[in-house]
Structure 1
């Protein structure tokens, strides 16, 4: 069944399980984790602001990230019909324009929930929502670029929620130390997003999405992704050493060394092993994020 046919399917309502699949709960973890990194880095005890912590986690994960997944699947329905025809929209499990309405309704929910977190939280929510639509929707559709697309997603998955968690808990702009570390991990996430593009290689080729796996080929794209993931972590280690946090720097160095070993395995078969690396190397990457967050606690005087 083609995508155009599914838009006119006889089914009128979406199945609840299909809606959950559309929102992709497995993708909620990175922004929730990054938000918690910001909470830890703020130096404020989470127990003093439990509502801000809980609302921020829900907003970063199920709401904003879930909305971005729904928006992306709606805008990508033609690509998914080629790559993954069993997904909810191209398969007809979510019929008609339900995918679009779901994304729009959750967009409104995100903006409303963002007001609970004060001006910093609301501002970050507006940015995240705008970025999600700019990534997926015409005429901007930054997803077409193998540079800007993954960069924007990395920023919104790791940097923005980290910044938001720190700003909301501290009720003000985070110190430059926190901003620098969050930005470095957001840059490194560009490589993670590039590896994620391997699964859509054929559909991207046919529909004009110029991801790095399409423009560079799987082998070169994987090497670029590895360098992009690794170099920012080297910079994090150097900064922590200069700030008098040698133990935290050592732990992150060990985690990076383990990633390098995983990268060597990845490069033996980039397309085939990209999902494996996303389950192993990325876990090591985000573990280093939390180590860095603990290193940043109580460093206000070093901004």
Structure 2
């Protein structure tokens, strides 16, 4: 629970993309309240800005995952990567809560005009990277595209230990990755939410077990924390794993499935709880480098409305159980 009314007022004083989630998940306002706020997203603030940047062919920045001309530009040598091309813009709009109907015929235009940087493959067919395919699976389902082919891909590309790894597609690894597995789980859950298709239920639960068996933090071989990234709590995390992002997935998954939190999440909960400030806020970690259309959060070390929203709803969910 937010312990300071000033903190709650500060969270509510935000873009509609964030405010509606505070109203729903923290304030527990009536549906008509948060739904009215959510309906404003395409016409105000971050959502309106992103929609205004769409190209006539349905894309953003002229490309699928990277902007047009990226590989021949000096931007390729800069830290991080740009987050302005089609996949990232659609991911942001979906996660903001924009109604798919406001995208018009975007899905059809992308089907005609957008190709992946990898092998020039058609956009809605996906490519070979697990994380990219996870974003595409979720976004296609949101926009009403038939994504059953890509859904099948996720069943066929699970590794023996239960999860997924982008590097496995190039033959560089036979073990699952925390990053890839979490992105796959989020994408599959979104696919299920939008379509009601249960075909990936077993794969999703198996991937979740991969993370749970490691308590979201530890190596199976040594029991050590898998890497510094697990505690790097930052928003937006894009494709990077951290314990707060993982816990937010498990919160969503248990609410979807009607199941209680798994006790093996407790170590990750302790990390998130320890990062909470006395006024109920969480501070921004080191933001990921890369060009964006709009900055949706604060600089490193400043109180983050997004992290405070996510951290609060995760602890509320855990403590209520």
Q: As a proportion of its length, which structure holds more helix? A: 1
TM-score normalised over the length of structure 2: 0.33
TM-score normalised over the length of structure 1: 0.34
